[in-house]
Amino acid sequence: MTNHGNPFIIPITMESQKIWATLDPFHEGGAIMGRSVANEALLRALLALDPCDEYHFFLRDRKLVQSVDAFLACEFPAIHGAGRFAVRTREALPGALASTPYHCFHLSDCINFPAHLARLRNALAPQIFPITGTTHSLSYTRYMTDFLAHMWKGTTARDCVVATSSGAAQVVGSIYDHLSEQYGPLPRPRVERIPLGVDTEALRPPTPQERTAARAQFGLVDGELAVLVFARISHFSKMDLVPVLRVVRRMDRQCAVPGGVRLLVAGWTEEGDSYPETLVNLATNAGVHLDVVPRPDEQAKCALYHAADVFLSPVDNPQETFGLTVLEAAAAGLPAVVSDYDGYRDLVLHNETGLLVPTIGPDGTVDVDSLAPLMYDHEYHLLLAQQTVVDVGACARALGSLAADPARRARLGRAARARAEAGFSWRLVAEKYAALWDRLWAEPVDAEALRGYVHPLHMPYARIFGGYPSRVFGPDLVLSWTPSGEAVYRDQDFITIYDDIESRVDPETVKRTVFFARKPVAADELLRKLMAVCGLGLEQARFLILWALKHDLLERADDGIGS
């Protein structure tokens, strides 16, 4: 197969193979956040299903390459030992695309790279493979530019945004519609819905002994109703917790619980944030028994679900698109009281697995719309959330109805668990992705037409900055080796090659380059020799010549071309 002008030669893979690839690590480590938990869980489910012959990762730097390769070797030794993983930096991506018929590229987020990867695919790949990416939060104002990047002539019917909820699918479609109204009709990726999943084996209803131990861990006494809220503990992210205090106080007044009510608020907190302390003080003043559990690890998270009687999540913020903790609560067998909002509608069936609480949103946000690009993310999200209403009275009545009826709680909890097992296991999610990638291949594409499209948001650096240098590389440039170049050729001097360009600067090819210029030679002739003799593409050969000029291995020759 031709190298398409690319220096990164990778053995051609048989087209009968299915090779899955990504630009993302999926395993991030560090703090427990919904996005990172979901990404790693999907990777684990995919590799457990193992629908492909190989799995290729193209990551941003070598440190991440080493980390992810070590993770894969530890967690998936059979696949790793069989040589079915390839973990490289993104510098290797062009050559891999040119020489490997990929089955698909799946990105852990639909925002950042799909369109830019598509340009490389269209130009280099032997086959126009599907590119998919998953939605997470969709409400950041900068995402409008990212979604606009999706809409260009190089987008194909095989490119797909995977929305995790029906609400997210509606939002993505509305964004594309709005951009089309403003910029004119342009091709757009298709939108398909595949939910996130939950590990129904790791997270399950507790045994009586596990429940007793978990309640003791958090100091809960017999008869005390434990209401669990699991979210980012913040007034501007995901949900405002002050109305939650009012819900609990109002519910307690309407339906006194003999053993009392304990509100457990758990989740991510920012270092140095005073909001958790403020929340505790507000709860004390309101007469609400509140415990804050900041940044629980997986063991503590499981114990919280096992200790709770009801899961409460009155989300009011467009940052939320799915509701992974709602699904986790269902897997643990908890009935849920949640806002009738965004992706929660997909997760909670009213009066079957939990209760949905009515919400009211604004009918116009012109002031926020115009200010948001000039504000910090948390500022405009706060403005949006503070005019999104979760009905406090209805929420209190819903919570009170479950507090007063243990049998109903148990019935809803069992139904929630059954639904999580039947429709939201990670294995089922992985199967849906595998089916989607196969299905996208059936979509027609015009590969030849795609090859000529350049993404309009990709800066053509050489043309735009062509006025900076006093001249640009061209056929009239005549070159010859320097004393340093000759010394390098004869192994009497050394060259310095930075890590980030070592794949473009091969020492032996450098020696050939300077040798070809031992007598003055026109730049275009030197290009042809490097391409013919060394197998370099045009871009690589030009890079190498300019690099040799920069490092005093070549110089301009003013006395004409030698024989």
Handedness of CA 234, 239, 240, 241 (dihedral sign): negative
pLDDT at site 254: 84
Say yes or no: do domains 19-197+432-451 and 208-422 share a fold. yes
**Confidence category of residue 4, pLDDT binned at 50, 70, 90:** very low
| Torsion from C-alpha of 254, 257, 260, 266, nearest 10 degrees | -80
pLDDT at site 183: 95
pLDDT digits (tens, 9 = 90+) for 197-249: 999 999 999 999 999 999 999 999 999 999 999 988 887 888 899 999 999 99
**Confidence category of residue 562, pLDDT binned at 50, 70, 90:** very low
**Confidence category of residue 2, pLDDT binned at 50, 70, 90:** very low
**Confidence category of residue 270, pLDDT binned at 50, 70, 90:** confident
Nearest to 539 by CA among 120, 36, 167: 120
**Confidence category of residue 195, pLDDT binned at 50, 70, 90:** very high
Are 193 and 165 in contact, with CB atoms under 8 Å apart? yes
Are 380 and 141 in contact, with CB atoms under 8 Å apart? yes
pLDDT digits (tens, 9 = 90+) for 52-110: 999 999 999 999 999 999 999 999 999 999 999 999 999 999 999 999 999 999 999 99
**Confidence category of residue 255, pLDDT binned at 50, 70, 90:** confident
The H-or-E segment that residue 191 falls in is strand 190-193
pLDDT at site 265: 96
**Confidence category of residue 323, pLDDT binned at 50, 70, 90:** very high
Mean residue pLDDT of the chain comes to 92
Rounded average pLDDT over 10-29? 75
Higher pLDDT among residues 316 and 16, named by residue = 316
C-alpha 328/C-alpha 311 separation (Å) is 10
pLDDT at site 500: 81
pLDDT at site 15: 47
Nearest to 416 by CA among 199, 166, 205: 205
Nearest to 264 by CA among 316, 312, 232: 312
Quick check: 14 pLDDT over 50? no
| % the chain with pLDDT above 70 | 95
**Confidence category of residue 559, pLDDT binned at 50, 70, 90:** low
pLDDT digits (tens, 9 = 90+) for 450-480: 998 999 999 999 999 999 999 999 888 999 9
Rounded average pLDDT over 311-325? 95
List the CATH code of the domain at 208-422: 3.40.50.2000
| % the chain with pLDDT above 90 | 85
Quick check: 524 pLDDT over 50? yes
pLDDT at site 44: 97
Domain positions in the chain: 19-197+432-451, 208-422, 462-556
pLDDT digits (tens, 9 = 90+) for 289-310: 999 999 998 899 999 999 999 9
Residues counted in the chain: 563
Quick check: 1 pLDDT over 50? no
Rounded average pLDDT over 378-405? 96
C-alpha 170/C-alpha 461 separation (Å) is 37
pTM beyond 0.85: the answer is yes
Residue-wise DSSP of 196-264: --B-TTTS-PPPHHHHHHHHHHTT--TT-EEEEEES---SSSS--SHHHHHHHHHHHHHS--TT-EEEE
**Confidence category of residue 31, pLDDT binned at 50, 70, 90:** low
Q: Which CATH architecture has domain 19-197+432-451?
A: 3-Layer(aba) Sandwich (3.40)
Rounded average pLDDT over 535-555? 94
pLDDT at site 563: 40
pLDDT at site 30: 58
Handedness of CA 179, 185, 187, 193 (dihedral sign): positive
